[in-house]
Every structure is written in C-alpha cells, then in structure tokens.
Chain A
Amino acid sequence: MFRQPHTYALPAAVVLLVAATFFIGNDFYLKVMFMTGVFYIAAAGFNVLVGYAGQKSLGHAGLYAAGAYTAALLTAKLGWNPWIAFVAAGAVAGLCGIVIALPSLRVRGPSLAMVTIGFGIVVEKIVTEWSDVFAGQAGIHGVAPLSLGAAPFGMREWVLFVVALGLATHLLMRSLLHGKYGRAFLAVHTAEVAAESVGVSVYRFKVLAFIVSAVFCGFAGALVAQQNQYINSDFINFGLSIFFLLLVLFGGGGSIYGPLLGAIVLTLVDAFLARWPGLQHFVYGALLLFALYVMPDGLAGAVRAAGRKLFPKLHEKEPIPTAVAEWQLQRSEQLPKEAPLLEAKGLYKAYGGVVPTNDVSIAVKTGHVHSLIGPNGAGKTTLLNILSGIVPPDRGSTAFNGVDITELKANEICALGIGRTFQNLKLFTDMTVLDNVLVGLHPHLDVGFWPCMLGLPLARRQEREARAEALRILAFLGLLDKANDIAGDLPYGVQRRLELARALATHPKLLLLDEPAAGLNPQETHELIGVIARIRDKGITVLLIEHHMDLVMAVSDHVFVLDYGAKIAEGTPAQVQANPRVIAAYLGEETAETGVVSPLSAVA
C-alpha cells in the first residue's frame, strides 16, 4: 500500500477537485481549472511523443486547430450532435497526426523541427486565409457546447467533465507507458538501430506516438472551441506550439506526472499574470531560458529528486528474487541440429569506390558456433549489418530458415529469429538492466495496443510473465543482482554482457555477435568462452566477429575469413590457421621484387 501512493492519492485528488467546483462560485477560477485540465490532456498525449518517443514537434498548434475546427464546423455548420463532433475532433486530429508523422519519419534534428514548424504554419495560414470555410479572424460562432440531456454544460459541468477526462487520460497513459509500449517508445528515443535490432519497429512506434499525441491535442482543441462556443484563427499560432512543448519539458518529459505539474503551474502563471501582459512575456521568456538549466528533468524530475531524499521508502523498486528457475527456450523454437540455417549468396555492397562486401557467400549450420575473422577493414561488420537487415545489400540474397530475408527490415528479421549485439555498445542507457532485457522480449509480447492502454488483466499478466523471464535471462548471464541498476552506469564489461542478455531475450535462432570480447579484460574474455558454449548448448546457433584468436579458436566449429570485402577462406579453425592466404592477409606477403620476408611472419 505504501509503495503505491497513487492508490490513495489519486482518489483523494479527484474528490478534492470535485468538491472544489462546488465551493468555487467564481467563473474565472472555474475557467482556470478548466484550462488546466485542457492543457493537461494535450500535454499528457504530447508527452508520449516528446518525452517517450523523443520526437520534438514545434507544430502541435496545427493539431489543436484540427480538433477545434472539426468540432466547430461539424456543430455550427452541419448541426451535428456535439458529443459526436467531440469524438470526431479527436479522430480528425489523429488523421492529421499521420499526415505530419509521415514526412517527420525521414528527418531528424533541426529538419524535424522544420517539418513540424512548417505543418503548424500551413494549418495556421489555412484557417486564416481560407475564410469561406474557416471564417479567418472573424471566427465561427455558435459552436454547440457539450450537453447533458437538453441542458448545455455550464462552467461547473465543464470543469467536472475535464476532471473526468483528465483522470481517464492519466489512467490510460499510466497503463500504456508502464509496459511494453512505454519501453518501446523509450527504446526508439535512445537508440533507433538497437530498437530495430530487438524487433521494435521504429517506423510503427514513431507514427503511433504522433497519432496518440495528435488525438489528445485534438480533444483539447475541441474542448476549448465547444466551451467558448467560438473559435477563430487567432487561437492558432506558433506561440501555442511552443507553449505545448513548454508544458511537457517544464513539467518533465518522460514522466507520467510531468505534464500534470507543467499544466498546473503554467496555467496558474498564465492566469495570474494575465493582467500584466508585458511581465507575462518576460516570465515566459525566463522560464524557457532557465527552467531546463535549473531542472534538466523538469518539475517532475526536481520533485522526484527531492522526494528520494526526504522519503526514500517511496522509491524502493520492486525487490529482485535471489534465485530463479533456469532459462530455457521453448522446444518449438528449437531447430533440428545440422540443418542449414542461414544461406547468403553473392552479397555485394559498395560505398562509392569502397566495396566492404564483395560477392560474399556463407552458409551457417544449426547448432554450431561460426566465426568471422579478418584484418581491420575487411568488411566483417558490414556483412553482419547486411545479415541483420540494418544495411540493405546492393546485390545478392539471404535466406534464413527457408525464408528470403534480403528485403526485410531489421525488426522483421529479428522477429524471424536473428538477434545481434553491436561492436560499439548500443544499450538503452537510461533504462534499468531489467528494462533493457524486457525490450528484448518485445517481439514475444503479443498483447495489442488497446489491452495495454486500457490496462486489461491480459496485458498485466503478460507483463508479469515477461518480467519473470527477463530475470531468468539475467540469472543465466550472472546479472541478476544488477537488475535494478541503470544500464549506462554499469562498468563496460557488464554492459557488454547486458547487450548479450538483451539479444538472447529476442529468442534468437541465430545470434550475431560483433566483437563480444572487445574491451574485456582477460578474465572476462575467458568467461565469455564459457558463456558462448552455454548459449550454443541451449540450441542457439552463433556467428561472431572477433579479433581475439584464442577465443575464436576455442569456441568455433567453423571459421570464415574475409579480406578486402571478399571471403578468402573457410573451414575448421585448424584448416584456417594453416591456410597460406589467411597468413598472408594477416601478416603480409613475401613480394617478388624485394624478396624480403616481413619480420612479423618470421615471428609467426
């Protein structure tokens, strides 16, 4: 009970708010409460996009306009029922969210800012200039308010309505973001390539984040239009887009309570300073300028940090069991040994004049450990990137377990059963160790969007099962005691092992390891040999790139050698070691002109 403050704080807050509406007779104060609710609803949705998926939009005023004008036109011009118009406003805004999401997916950084700014301005100009439909500055009068029976909402009903809607929003966001969707959004935020490699479709989750934020922004717009019973083009401007972003960033992006804090404080500041518009501008400017400097994680972050100091008990994480069952893949996921698993034919990739992969063909057999070696710049990582779908080949084909995967995206290839790690670690650094592994389990959590958003028992049960399995995987790699640590804070060697755990969580049939021993000390490297053998014994086929020859020779059943993008040899470790072309590639060759033997080969 003590660990779950929302179970008593939330009902208390709602009772308090409802009671307040009956004591406050002043319409101005009620209006302030109403606007706080409206901004909260918009900010809560926007938080999914900005705080979780990490996509900054400077054009959400356009989506607010989509909602407001939909409600206005449908009721004032077409005489629709206000409730249906309200729902339609959310839907239309959601569609506009798709319109803004599609171009936004192709760009990042300042260009993303530009695309969203452009969208906001286009909408602003449309409602200003196209006066036949949107009535420009004159505005649309006679927007029908929501009503109960025949009686339209008064100010008190409006407040009660946004309290109810705000509560619903909070609960929906809570169940959506504390689970596989929240993790997937954060994964897309921190490391897109890594998210793809564990089966999270970056494309799908970015579009989804845009849609969620758009729908809630549309509802906010409809609420304002229907409460005022009027809307004009002055409501829609670049400043409003900035204000939405400020709500989330000032309140605390990536926190469930951030948008709430942001909406309360900023709406109050707004109402309080409305009498002195000059001062109001200064305060906004100063807030934008200094707030993120003083509180990098927003108000919510500052409150959390203070709370951790004052009430450490409130912040204890769910305890980690000391012993868990051994991790096992399901029998149905295991393939017959010796069967051909992966067959790449004639893969070719060129960057300008550099050809890191030149007509490479390899075949991988189930149940064995394969190594890919070669001097620096031989094209090993590029080949791994092609196999895992991160880089498309120019020519050639790859078949995996009987399926042609040449054209598939990385997340689809992962779902078919190829997991991978990265040479330069790509962990979700801000998440806990446990959450990193849970993201890896993403492709195996088949519960859909709505059960997650509504917090249905089905979704909660699957979440519990996933947690249990993630702990088993951590135990398998000896990371159980680190489960609640933040991934980015771990020592390097442990981070490497965590990446391995995350890749195992995708239930790979084939595991691709890109220099798993890089940066490890001799002790850790030695342990890794045992870990790889245990992974193989679980029935998982391994293909690894490595420079530590002790490790390669100790664990491999079969070795491929690349040089200058081409495969120059393959065979058992002993065969490869004896191959003159391999020796030449590593140590240089006796040349006809000089006849001098390189000192290195003399040593070898």
Chain B
Amino acid sequence: MEALLQAVLSGLAIGGIYALVALGFNITYNTTKTLNFGQGEFLVAGAFIAVATVLLLSGKGYRGVLQPEDVTVFRYLVGFVAAVVVLGALGVLLYYTAVRPFVGAVGLAWVMSTIGFGIIVQATALGVWGPAPLAMPSPLGNDVIRFGSAGILPQEILIFVVAVVVMVALDFTLRRTKIGKAVRAVAHNKGAAALMGINVPMIVILAFVVSSCLAGLGGLLVAPITTASVFMGLVLALKAFSAAIIGGLDNPRGCILGGFLLGLIESLIGLWHAELREISIFVLIIVVLVFKPEGLLGRRIVEKV
C-alpha cells in the first residue's frame, strides 16, 4: 500500500516535468503547426545553465562540483533566471534558423532542422562540460518528508507545485487575457488574426520563447533528481512528446493531463517491473493512438472534400 502511495507521489512529480515540456510543444504546435524536436537538448541546456550559474555564484568556476551547502534558495533562483533568459534567447534563435524557413512547407523539414539545432546545442554542452553528469543538489535539502510510511523528497514537491502554478498561470493567460486571446486567434487562423491587427510574427516568436523556457524550467527542476547529464534530454523529451500526443497535441489541458497520466503510469508500472517501464509506456501510446488518433482531449480533424 505504501509502495503504491510512494509511486503515485513520485509519478506526480515526474509527470509535472512531462506536463511542462508537453505544454511547450502545444504552444508552438498551435501557433505554427511545428514543434521543437530538439526540446530534450533545451532541457539539458536549462539544467546546465542553472548548474553553471550556481557554481559561479559559489565561486567554484563553471565546471566545478556542487556540494549541498552551495545550493541556496537564492542561488537556485538566480540560476532559474539565468536559465530562462538564455533559453528564451535560444528559442528566438531556434525560430529564426530552424523553424521560420520551413513553416507551412510540405513535408517535415522542420523535424530535421529542429533536431539539428538540438544536436548543435548538445554538442556545445558536451564541448563545455564533457560527458560526465553534473551533480545538482536540491536547494531544499535531501530530507525525506514522510506521509505515513511513504516518503517524498522536497524537490519532488517543488516540481509538482511549480508545475501546477505555471500551468494555472498559462491557462489563465491563454483564456482570460488579451495576449492569450491573440495567441488563440493566431492558432485558429493566422491570416484572419493578422487582418484584425494582431502582430502575428511577434506572437509566434513569443510561443517559441515560452516553449523553450518551459523546457529550460523542466531541466532545472529535474536536475536535482536525476543529476544533470548531457544525455538526459532525449528520453525526457520523447516522453513529454508522448504525453502531448496522448492528451491531444492541440489542447493545452490535454497536454497537462497527458503529462501527469504518463508520469503516474510509468511510476506504477515501475512498481511491478522496473525494466518494463519504457517498453510498456510506448506500447501503450501506440495502442491509444490506434483507437484515438487525435489524443484523449484533442479535436478530430475532418478533411473537407
């Protein structure tokens, strides 16, 4: 029983990461019908920028080794700001080099170009920090908080809380504010939005900035749990992508649902057979898509003949 509760708690935490990154996929997909297939590397970049910032603040040089006492809440926050700023800039760069040339073109050229951009980001990180993972102690310490017999790390609670806050804020912005309305208008029909005086290119760039920042935030949050590794991005991003597809890539709430669902399922299957976790998840995704190709909350597109 406590094992079950334990699995649910950690599933919600990792699900929060998937949901954040999935939401990033949704925002760019809705506005441009493209998404960043190199998002995993952006996650890595977020984590490494944060680690490097904290290292610099503790006077250890950007390639040192962090001890738990080096990571204060203040330094972690500065790391967060640095990661968001750098990732936002990367998002703009990504849009101009990898996405804009191919938006609206037939085929999936943008899949290749965004993967290429990600590989360059990864190669850069590899060149600067090398292949060994960097430790990133949690600013909240490592004392397990007990719920009955189940325990949870403070960082896991942080992930869950941050994820929920960010999602609620984004959901509110999209549904209740002027800029959110502009984003939804662009998602619906770019031409009509432009005719109504909405600055479409601005909204699209904003979408990529937000999407990249969400990935960076995901990296920053997950680093204390998995350690920051140059190679951690691919699997995380693929799972976040699965979450988005399962929930419905065109529906932000669907992406969030998909993220938490995937985290929970993964964690629960892990209880039963840890090595079958990934196999069962991806088999499950294929099965879900066969019966509901548009995802759980997605809109079915009827082709007009």
In the bound complex, how far is the Cα of B291 from the Cα of A115, in angstroms? 12
Q: Mask for A94-132, Cβ within 8 A of B = 1, else 0?
A: 000000001100111011011101110110011001000
Interface residues of B in 280-305 (CB under 8 A from A): 282-283, 285-287, 289-290, 293-295, 302-305
Asked if B194 lies at the interface with its beta carbon under 8 angstroms from chain A, I say no
Asked if A455 lies at the interface with its beta carbon under 8 angstroms from chain B, I say no
Whether A390 pairs with B120 at a CB distance below 8 angstroms is no
Asked if A545 lies at the interface with its beta carbon under 8 angstroms from chain B, I say no
Asked if B145 lies at the interface with its beta carbon under 8 angstroms from chain A, I say no
Whether B116 pairs with A118 at a CB distance below 8 angstroms is no
Whether B279 pairs with A289 at a CB distance below 8 angstroms is no
Q: Mask for A243-257, Cβ within 8 A of B = 1, else 0?
A: 001100100010000
Q: Mask for B91-121, Cβ within 8 A of A = 1, else 0?
A: 0000001100110010111011101111110
Asked if B59 lies at the interface with its beta carbon under 8 angstroms from chain A, I say no
Q: Which chain A positions have C-beta within 8 A of B126?
A: 278, 281
**A114-B241 contact, Cβ under 8 Å, with A103-B289, A193-B305, A285-B116:** yes
Classify chain A: how many residues form its interface, as a range.
35 or more
Q: Which chain B positions have C-beta within 8 A of A282?
A: 119-120, 123
Q: Which chain A positions have C-beta within 8 A of B234?
A: 238
Classify chain B: how many residues form its interface, as a range.
35 or more
B276 to chain A, nearest CB (A): 8
Q: Mask for A406-425, Cβ within 8 A of B = 1, else 0?
A: 00000000000000001110
Whether B116 pairs with A111 at a CB distance below 8 angstroms is no
Q: Which chain A positions have C-beta within 8 A of B295?
A: 111
Whether A284 pairs with B112 at a CB distance below 8 angstroms is no
Interface residues of A in 268-289 (CB under 8 A from B): 278, 281-282, 284-289
In the bound complex, how far is the Cα of B122 from the Cα of A108, in angstroms? 29
In the bound complex, how far is the Cα of B112 from the Cα of A278, in angstroms? 20
A357 to chain B, nearest CB (A): 14
A46 to chain B, nearest CB (A): 14
In the bound complex, how far is the Cα of B280 from the Cα of A126, in angstroms? 11
DSSP class of A's interface residues: helix, strand, loop or mixed? helix
Asked if B23 lies at the interface with its beta carbon under 8 angstroms from chain A, I say no
Q: Which chain B positions have C-beta within 8 A of A108?
A: 293
In the bound complex, how far is the Cα of B245 from the Cα of A114, in angstroms? 8
DSSP class of B's interface residues: helix, strand, loop or mixed? helix
Whether A107 pairs with B293 at a CB distance below 8 angstroms is yes
Q: Which chain A positions have C-beta within 8 A of B302?
A: 351
Partner of A115 from B105, B108, B123, B286 at Cβ < 8 Å: B286
Q: Mask for A365-391, Cβ within 8 A of B = 1, else 0?
A: 000000000000000010001000011
Asked if A56 lies at the interface with its beta carbon under 8 angstroms from chain B, I say yes
Asked if B29 lies at the interface with its beta carbon under 8 angstroms from chain A, I say yes
How many interface contacts (CB-CB < 8 Å) are there between A and B?
Answer: 132
Whether B123 pairs with A281 at a CB distance below 8 angstroms is yes
Q: Which chain B positions have C-beta within 8 A of A293?
A: 101-102, 109, 113
In the bound complex, how far is the Cα of B304 from the Cα of A385, in angstroms? 10
In the bound complex, how far is the Cα of B115 from the Cα of A117, in angstroms? 14
Whether B35 pairs with A110 at a CB distance below 8 angstroms is yes
Asked if A242 lies at the interface with its beta carbon under 8 angstroms from chain B, I say yes
In the bound complex, how far is the Cα of B303 from the Cα of A422, in angstroms? 13
In the bound complex, how far is the Cα of B98 from the Cα of A423, in angstroms? 36
Instruction: Give A128's nearest chain B residue, CB to CB.
Output: B275
In the bound complex, how far is the Cα of B299 from the Cα of A459, in angstroms? 45
Whether A286 pairs with B116 at a CB distance below 8 angstroms is yes
Asked if B12 lies at the interface with its beta carbon under 8 angstroms from chain A, I say no
Q: Which chain A positions have C-beta within 8 A of B267?
A: none
Whether B122 pairs with A281 at a CB distance below 8 angstroms is yes
Q: Mask for A278-321, Cβ within 8 A of B = 1, else 0?
A: 10011011111111110010000000000000000000000000
Whether A115 pairs with B35 at a CB distance below 8 angstroms is no
Q: Which chain A positions have C-beta within 8 A of B31?
A: none
Whether A118 pairs with B119 at a CB distance below 8 angstroms is no
In the bound complex, how far is the Cα of B116 from the Cα of A601, in angstroms? 65
In the bound complex, how far is the Cα of B123 from the Cα of A391, in angstroms? 50
Whether A117 pairs with B238 at a CB distance below 8 angstroms is yes
User: What are some 7 contacts across the A-B interface (CB < 8 A)?
Assistant: A113-B108, A114-B242, A114-B245, A121-B238, A282-B120, A289-B98, A292-B102
Interface residues of B (CB under 8 A from A): 29, 35, 97-98, 101-102, 105, 107-109, 111-113, 115-120, 122-123, 126-127, 234, 238, 241-242, 245, 249, 275-276, 278-279, 282-283, 285-287, 289-290, 293-295, 302-305
4 smallest CB-CB distances across A and B, nearest first, come from A288-B116, A289-B116, A285-B119, A285-B120
